Amino acid sequence: MISRMSTMFLRTLRDDPADAEVPSHKLLVRGGYVRRIAPGVFSWLPLGYKVFRNVERIVREEMDKAGFQEVHFPSLLPREPYETTGRWTEYGDNVFRLKDRRDNDYLLGPTHEEMFTLMVKGEFSSYRDLPLSIYQIQTKFRDEARPRAGILRGREFVMKDSYSFDVDHEGLEASYERHRKAYISTFDRLNLDYVIVSAMAGAMGGSRSEEFLASAEVGEDTYVKCSCGYAANVEALIIPMAEFDPELNLNVDLPSSHVEDTPQTPTIDSLVAMSNARTDLARPDRAWLASDTLKNLLLMVRDGSGTDRPLAIGVPGDREVDMRRLEAALYPDVARPFEEGDFAAYPMLAKGYIGPQILGKNGESGIEFLTDPRVVRGTRWITGANVSGKHVFDLVFGRDFDSDGIIDVAEVIDGDTCNECGGHLEKARGIEIGHIFQLGTKYAEALGLRVLDENGELVTVTMGSYGIGVSRAVAAIAEQHHDDKGLVWPREISPADIYLVAAGKTPEIFAAAEDLADQWDALGLRVILDDRKGVSPGVKFNDSELLGIPTIVVVGRGLEKGVIEVKNRVSGERSDLSVDTVVADVHRICTT
Amino acid sequence: MISRMSTMFLRTLRDDPADAEVPSHKLLVRGGYVRRIAPGVFSWLPLGYKVFRNVERIVREEMDKAGFQEVHFPSLLPREPYETTGRWTEYGDNVFRLKDRRDNDYLLGPTHEEMFTLMVKGEFSSYRDLPLSIYQIQTKFRDEARPRAGILRGREFVMKDSYSFDVDHEGLEASYERHRKAYISTFDRLNLDYVIVSAMAGAMGGSRSEEFLASAEVGEDTYVKCSCGYAANVEALIIPMAEFDPELNLNVDLPSSHVEDTPQTPTIDSLVAMSNARTDLARPDRAWLASDTLKNLLLMVRDGSGTDRPLAIGVPGDREVDMRRLEAALYPDVARPFEEGDFAAYPMLAKGYIGPQILGKNGESGIEFLTDPRVVRGTRWITGANVSGKHVFDLVFGRDFDSDGIIDVAEVIDGDTCNECGGHLEKARGIEIGHIFQLGTKYAEALGLRVLDENGELVTVTMGSYGIGVSRAVAAIAEQHHDDKGLVWPREISPADIYLVAAGKTPEIFAAAEDLADQWDALGLRVILDDRKGVSPGVKFNDSELLGIPTIVVVGRGLEKGVIEVKNRVSGERSDLSVDTVVADVHRICTT
């Protein structure tokens, strides 16, 4: 196929769009691949849609190869099944809701668990019908609070979602493994560099769950990896509990707590500096560290019914609470920091000097108090004295205070201990391109999907759910495959095999370019022919690099000497090939 | 590719679904192709989605072949551009509207004129960039008042919509012709039997407009055709004005009007019967006909701003007002019949006996009065006398009454006169599968799409709009290609080439069927292998006919004698082929 720049519906932009921050967004807009319509809502231009369709085709082929069957659901979904599973409410603001002319409630499908469950219920009734894996590639809608980064996190996007149906957990494990394998094949073929990390099933409710994260600095997901092979999304990461010495006699072996005036210590750093500077407070064995201080955060937590409850969380002062870990730990409840009004209801809380002595369900405040896994019996802390301007030193957990339980929501720091091997964790960022998880019977139970087993007994079907962000994968690929001049598409993703530049003004040059385009087209190669008249070679070269087609061919001055320039967009390598052999040579480059 | 009935996500139904009235709906549900989710909202099962994708592929290939470039818009569209063109309001209840979490207004795209116009405005600026034709294949949403007939008229459906952009009308004509040709190729390839009829541009506002209607008794569109080749949608049909004799002296040559008591004449028929029966009223030259009576209909018409106005329409008594023609004639205003309250406001209107003497803007009632093209100077009528129980006879148009203008909304009757050749029109029904029309500058003007012309002057771009109902085409094909046993897909549309039945219980039969499936698969044929165990040959045969795969192969008892049965689903013809040559024979059947 030959596409001509002279008639193509495409205008490349010289400058980065003002609203774009990440490379893929900038380049996809500059290259005329996508255009913004509304926040998180984009249109595809011709070259962009070709890239999208290439990605979609690869995903579909890999699903078909794995034996999954394609179906297709509507986007406009009735309220009832979502009411039955409780998600009509649970989704909160994240789902688009609407009414039809008869005032019936609908939502725009953000995901389709309910519909798949009901579809299988409608057709199948026996264990003999299972296992079954079905999928769709479909437009999804989510009213994201913060759509960002172009098509990386949009409000209307395309997903491939699959579901597996089995009679028992063993079957589910097998279906899960088949999907995992199919995902590996898919992402390999998409030329993505990715890791598979343990994840929280989160909103979906379930057990085993892994995410496929494409490595990218701009990724929204933080994960940790260890040289032992362990990798986990920070939400799913498990921090080892600190060890304690059972022999330790807290009353004898540790100093008593003492309250001290600590003026001008608005930060953890200033508190630590002062503690080390004052000889009466300095530790004999070593300097005080930020990790010796205990920071107590007050939150107001709202549950599904809209009821608020206070919650205090104690973490070592050297680290913040990670909001995503907190969100995952409290899900489906939602937390916000204490506000003035909240403090007013608890006058015993001295803002900035809150200490655990009055926290806990049995404490003076009655506020539930959860602590970091590093806060264990025998650990001694500098923390607030519940009096403005005063801190308490050598407050010992298990002697001077206690908590209502553990909460593991502190930020992860490079070098933290791996729970698997005891080694050091390293933090990295990625884009979630796939997610597989074992739903179990949650949806089948809610919606009554049961089949007769071998003994004629009704059993609830167990399900798996598997998603790939198809439009997001386009952005992830662009994020991993670009340089300072533009996009650099892997060949199977690229909208064309060859970008063929007619660089010159003579009819001979244009005729030679046309002739080459025809020959490559006849060989089944996809050619973009830059046949624009009155456009300088410089502009054409820039566009050829911005658009990112893997092979660039230039028909220019060399033609007189029988030479055609061929450039590899990935390596930047250029070579002058003979006009006599260039057709075969480039065909070989494009097909091997 | 081999699909196995033993694992396929498919259950055929023995009985027609209760809510289905038209054959395509019944068969697509019975064959396990589609399932209803909500009124006018359907899911595709695996075989159905294959059919859908085949249709989509053909449409896409024909558009690409014509040189149109594919783009893709979101479904979630912001209010602003639709506000600018006035369609946010104009759409009324037919569009799905919703708000996002920030309370911004959106609609679900029912059609994309505004977005295409803005997209071209964003990229192009010169006459040199034009002509341009771009298209998308996309899910559309319309909140139909009466979704019906399965996927024939749904609320969520897939359309291919194209738009052309030209600097002048001559360019638009050329673009229109290119689309018309591409549509002919597309519908021919879809194996549809269709007519191209003149149409009203309707909601889109424009000039030249044609519809592609697939002939089908269940079609919602009525059109008329003439042996001269003229064909038109009834909404667009033009009825020739009745001729009148300019020499006629209305006062001398025609009898005077006279009011008569006409008891017990509640219907036109009874009025005509009485008029002929009473010697004092009978016409000397011929019997009175229903077409000699003038029926006056009172309507209340609401315009875009919500303001009501009364309207009277006079049509010959032998025909009703056609509601679709009326809707088209008044568009975008909307009419309803007079209700009691309306009559109360006009006491001079004697219900059931309304005559034109008091109608018209200058008449006693002041109500606008429009008449059928058959009501011309010198025609004499029996009509209401505006007194209960009385009619007036020999009321002459141009002498005794007049109207404010012509309205051509009476129903069309087989045998009506063709405006082109004077011949007889014939009525038929069809399914609208395509619509092409010249939008002109309406959208470009509203949204400011202008380009610089050759002289450096800004000119408004002129547009064409072209649609194909992709999911509806699936139903239209099913409507035209079925028999009493089931569907009969054209090969290129069919989800498979061969339905291969293993009809028997012996391992030899199953092994032979598997072997044949492998061989055809290797030759690139798409095979559905009915390898179900414990399912009787009768059930398999029924399914093979219901599903409508063009070639049915039966491996059964004949195998022992070296014979395989091959059946043509279209003709019903069966032949026994030798097992030695059947692979090549069937390959030939499937590829020629």
**Angle separating helix axes B46-65 and B169-189, nearest 10 degrees:** 140
Strands A368-371 and A308-316: parallel
In this structure, is residue A489 part of a structural domain?
no
Q: Of A242 and B551, which is predicted with more confidence? A: B551
Contact residues on chain A for B145, CB-CB shorter than 8 A: 101
Query: Averaged over B433-439, what is the pLDDT?
Result: 94
Report the gap between the CA of B438 and the closest CA in chain A (Å): 21
Q: What whole-number percentage of chain A has pLDDT above 90? A: 75
pLDDT for position A313: 96
B446, B502: one domain: no
Query: Averaged over B84-90, what is the pLDDT?
Result: 87
- Residue A298's nearest CA partner among A341, A255, A234, A362 is A341
Can you spell out the DSSP letters for A15-27? S--TT--SHHHHH
Contact A157, A91 (CB under 8 A): no
Contact A130, B54 (CB under 8 A): no
Give residues 147 to 186 of A whose Cβ lies within 8 Å of B: 155-156
Q: What whole-number percentage of chain A has pLDDT above 70? A: 99
Altogether, the residues listed in chain A come to a count of: 592
Q: Of A242 and A454, which is predicted with more confidence? A: A454
pLDDT for position A203: 42
Q: Does B533 touch chain A (CB under 8 A)?
A: no
pLDDT for position A514: 97
Q: Which of B4, B61, B76 to mutate to test the interface with A (most CBs of A within 10 A)?
A: B76
B218, B256: one domain: no
Could you give the CA distance from residue A348 to residue A364 in angstroms, rounded to a whole number?
8
pLDDT tens per residue across span A126-136: 999 999 999 99
CB contact under 8 A, B124 and A11: yes
Q: Does A74 touch chain B (CB under 8 A)?
A: yes
CB contact under 8 A, B156 and A76: yes
Q: Could you tell me which residues come within 8 angstroms of residue B374 by beta carbon, excluding any fewer than 6 positions away?
A: B239, B242, B291, B315, B316, B410
pLDDT for position A458: 96
CB contact under 8 A, B77 and A38: yes
Average pLDDT, chain A: 92
Q: Of A21 and B47, which is predicted with more confidence? A: B47
Nearest CA in chain B to A30: B123
CB contact under 8 A, B43 and A8: no
Contact residues on chain B for A71, CB-CB shorter than 8 A: 9, 43-46, 49
Q: Could you tell me which residues come within 8 angstroms of residue A527 by beta carbon, excluding any fewer than 6 positions away?
A: A1, A2, A3, A496, A497, A498, A500, A517, A520, A521
B167, B278: one domain: no
Peptide bond into A507 cis (omega under 30): no
pLDDT for position A391: 94
CB contact under 8 A, B37 and A115: yes
- Residue A168's nearest CA partner among A362, A569, A457 is A457
pLDDT for position B204: 43
pLDDT exceeds cutoff 70 at B549: yes
In this structure, is residue B280 part of a structural domain?
yes
Report the gap between the CA of A438 and the closest CA in chain B (Å): 21
pLDDT for position B205: 45
Contact B77, A115 (CB under 8 A): no
Structure tokens at A300: 């107001």
Could you give the CA distance from residue A300 to residue B62 in angstroms, rounded to a whole number?
60
In this structure, is residue B17 part of a structural domain?
no
* Domain CATH for A571: 3.40.50.800
In this structure, is residue A356 part of a structural domain?
yes
Strand partners, A300: A310, A336
pLDDT interval class at B202 (50, 70, 90): very low
**What's the total number of domains in chain B?**
3
pLDDT interval class at B247 (50, 70, 90): confident
Could you give the CA distance from residue A79 to residue A87 in angstroms, rounded to a whole number?
10
Strand partners, A233: A223
pLDDT exceeds cutoff 80 at A338: yes
Q: Does A521 touch chain B (CB under 8 A)?
A: no
- Residue A196's nearest CA partner among A245, A239, A247, A231 is A231
In this structure, is residue B214 part of a structural domain?
yes
Which of B479, B508, B540 is the C-terminal boundary of a domain?
Answer: B479
B350, B456: one domain: no
Could you give the CA distance from residue A127 to residue A458 in angstroms, rounded to a whole number?
9
Query: Averaged over B12-38, what is the pLDDT?
Result: 92
Complex ipTM above 0.90? no
Q: Which of A6, A98, A124 to mutate to test the interface with B (most CBs of B within 10 A)?
A: A98
Strand partners, A258: A393
B60, B169: one domain: yes
pLDDT exceeds cutoff 90 at A385: yes
B518, B467: one domain: no
- Minimal Cβ distance to B122: which of A35, A38, A145: A35
Q: Does B106 touch chain A (CB under 8 A)?
A: yes
- Minimal Cβ distance to A100: which of B73, B78, B143: B143
Strand partners, A395: A381
A112, A163: one domain: yes
B214, B306: one domain: no
CB-neighbour burial class of residue A90 (10 A; exposed 0-12, middle 13-18, buried 19+):
middle
pLDDT for position B20: 85
- Minimal Cβ distance to B72: which of A49, A71, A97: A49
Strands B498-502 and B390-396: unpaired
Which of B444, B479, B514 is the C-terminal boundary of a domain?
Answer: B479
> Which of A393-402, A576-585, B261-270, B361-370 is predicted least confidently?
B261-270
CB contact under 8 A, A76 and B49: no
B463, B511: one domain: no
Could you give the CA distance from residue A569 to residue A487 in angstroms, rounded to a whole number?
9
- Minimal Cβ distance to B71: which of A43, A74, A106: A43
Q: Give A395-437 as a 3 state SS string.
A: EEECCCECCCEECCCECCCCCCECCCCCCEEEEEEEEEEEEEE
Nearest CA in chain A to B81: A37
A358, A471: one domain: no
For residue A247, how many other CB atoms are within 10 A of its CB?
Answer: 7
pLDDT exceeds cutoff 90 at B32: yes
Structure tokens at A404: 């209502």
For residue A170, how many other CB atoms are within 10 A of its CB?
Answer: 10
Could you give the CA distance from residue A492 to residue A589 in angstroms, rounded to a whole number?
13
CB contact under 8 A, B37 and A8: no
Could you give the CA distance from residue B488 to residue B480 in angstroms, rounded to a whole number?
9
Helix (H) or strand (E) holding B487: strand B486-487
Structure tokens at B527: 């095979």
Report the gap between the CA of A208 and the closest CA in chain B (Å): 26
User: Domain span at residue A176?
Assistant: 23-237+427-479
Query: Averaged over A464-480, what is the pLDDT?
Result: 96
A83, A200: one domain: yes
Query: Averaged over B277-290, what is the pLDDT?
Result: 89
Q: Does A78 touch chain B (CB under 8 A)?
A: yes
B560, B510: one domain: yes
* Domain CATH for A257: 3.90.960.10
For residue B229, the SS3 value is coil
pLDDT tens per residue across span A94-104: 899 999 989 99
Q: Does A523 touch chain B (CB under 8 A)?
A: no
Contact B76, B97 (CB under 8 A): no
Can you spell out the DSSP letters for A260-290? EE-TT--SHHHHHHHHHHSTTT--SSS---G
pLDDT for position A205: 45
Q: Does B18 touch chain A (CB under 8 A)?
A: no
* Domain CATH for B115: 3.30.930.10
CB contact under 8 A, B49 and A72: yes
pLDDT exceeds cutoff 80 at B203: no
In this structure, is residue B14 part of a structural domain?
no
Q: Does A96 touch chain B (CB under 8 A)?
A: yes
In this structure, is residue B199 part of a structural domain?
yes
In this structure, is residue A417 part of a structural domain?
no
Peptide bond into B332 cis (omega under 30): yes
Report the gap between the CA of A122 and the closest CA in chain B (Å): 9
Nearest CA in chain B to A32: B123
Instruction: Work out how many CB contacts closer than 8 A connect A with B.
Output: 147
pLDDT tens per residue across span B125-173: 999 999 999 999 999 999 888 887 788 888 999 999 999 999 999 999 9
Structure tokens at A185: 């094949």
pLDDT tens per residue across span A266-284: 889 999 999 999 888 888 8
Which of A406, A435, A463 is the C-terminal boundary of a domain?
Answer: A406
* φ/ψ (deg, to 5) at B463: -120, 155
Could you give the CA distance from residue B166 to residue B177 in angstroms, rounded to a whole number?
13
For residue B349, the one-letter residue type is L
pLDDT tens per residue across span B178-201: 999 999 999 999 999 999 988 864
CB contact under 8 A, B49 and A43: no
Q: Could you tell me which residues come within 8 angstroms of residue A263 by beta carbon, excluding any fewer than 6 positions away?
A: A389
Dihedral of CA atoms A520, A526, A532, A536 in degrees, nearest 10, equals -90
pLDDT for position B50: 98
